[in-house]
Amino acid sequence: MVTAQPSRRSVLSGSVATVVGAVAGFLAARRSGAAKSHPAGAAANAYGAAASGPGRVLLPVGEVPAGGGRILDADGVVVTREVSGTVHAFSTTCTHQGCTVNSVSAGTINCPCHGSRFDLRTGAPVGGPAARPLTAVPVVVRAGQVVEG
């Protein structure tokens, strides 16, 4: 039985194409990581700040008002801070019908669509039609930054 052997030239050109593709993918990943608005120097891995999930730097804790919060639309996260200083974070997706919450005031995270309000400490619904809490996002404060944990 005779099998066709690949020529040396075809093996080499296939290897070159593989290396070029890998380099292009690496550069694209680096570029997309650099486009994020995370603070410089907050790299979570070799490619820069994590795009999502554990290690993602959200914002400096000093930018979250005590007894209030900050909505990070690009990250899909609302970060809140108790008067005592304890920081929490939740998904910005309202559990009623999926609108995006748009404010934090008077101790609640508020949805503009049908008026649901959620406790800024627990995410539990305290007013309006939503029956389920906002999805918690685990966070820690590390070196003055709120970071997904």
Pick 57 or 111: Cβ nearer ligand FES: 111
What whole-number distance in Å separates Cα of residue 103 and Cα of residue 134?
14
On the 0-12 / 13-18 / 19+ scale of CB atoms within 10 A, 120 is buried
DSSP lists the bridge partners of residue 142 as 145
Pick 50 or 120: Cβ nearer ligand FES: 120
Pick 94 or 147: Cβ nearer ligand FES: 94
Candidate residues 96, 107, 126, 133; the one interacting with ligand FES per rule CB under 6 A: 96
Candidate residues 29, 43, 87, 99; the one interacting with ligand FES per rule CB under 6 A: 99
CA-wise closest residue to 55 among 44, 46, 40, 41 = 44
Candidate residues 63, 97, 121, 136; the one interacting with ligand FES per rule CB under 6 A: 97
Residues in contact with ligand FES, shown as a per-residue x/- string from 122 to 141 under the rule CB under 6 A: ------xxx-----------
Gyration radius of the chain's alpha carbons: 23
